[in-house]
Amino acid sequence: MSRPRTVPDTNVALSALLFRTGSLGWLRGARQVDAILSLTSRDTAAELIAVLSYPKLRLDAAERDELLGNFLPWCEVVAVPAGLAVPDCRDPLNRPFLELALAAGANALLSGDRDMLDLAGAFTVPILPPAAFRIRLGGVAVA
């Protein structure tokens, strides 16, 4: 079976990167042992880079680079064509993740965002909280 192709939204990616022993730390390990393939695009990577620069995170440039180095090398970069038909979302910042999931033929879009999860019934790609996706994977026993 091929690796599931996943689109983590920014909050999911950030939580997995910042909190290695937290509830989403397993995602980092799953990527690094090739149990899943994370997908990114120019727009979704730019958002992650911008969020890592938020003052409230108190990360210096070296720390930001280290976190990105623990994410981007395990991602497949997907070119997202303009004009994809995705459901309207209350938060326009979610649109690039929907477009990426559709363009890449992702197996799941991982999000804990209520606005995103509310679109689950109107989108062709499953939108799942990370815990539900992990159950689908059979637990993924990686740290």
- Structure confidence by residue, pLDDT tens digits, 80-130: 999 899 999 899 999 999 999 999 999 999 999 999 999 999 999 999 999
Q: Is the dihedral of CA 32, 16, 36, 7 positive or negative?
A: negative
Q: Is the pLDDT of residue 1 over 80?
A: no
CA-derived radius of gyration, the chain:
14
Instruction: Output the CA angle 123-96-39, nearest 5 degrees.
Output: 85
Q: Residue 103: what pLDDT? A: 97
CATH of 5-137, one of 2.60.40.2220, 3.30.460.20, 3.40.50.300, 3.40.50.1010: 3.40.50.1010
- Domain borders along the chain are 5-137
Helix runs in the chain, H state only: 10-18, 25-32, 42-52, 61-69, 95-104, 114-117, 130-137
Confidence tier at 143 by pLDDT (50, 70, 90): very low
Q: Is 125 exposed, middle or buried (0-12, 13-18, 19+ CB in 10 A)?
A: buried
CB atoms within 10 A of CB 35: 17
30-84 pLDDT, tens digit per residue, is: 887 878 999 999 999 999 999 999 999 999 999 999 999 989 988 999 999 998 9
pTM for this prediction = 0.91
Residues in the chain: 143
Query: What is d(CA 38, CA 40) in angstroms, rounded to the nearest whole number?
Result: 7
Whole-number Å distance between alpha carbons of 65 and 38? 18
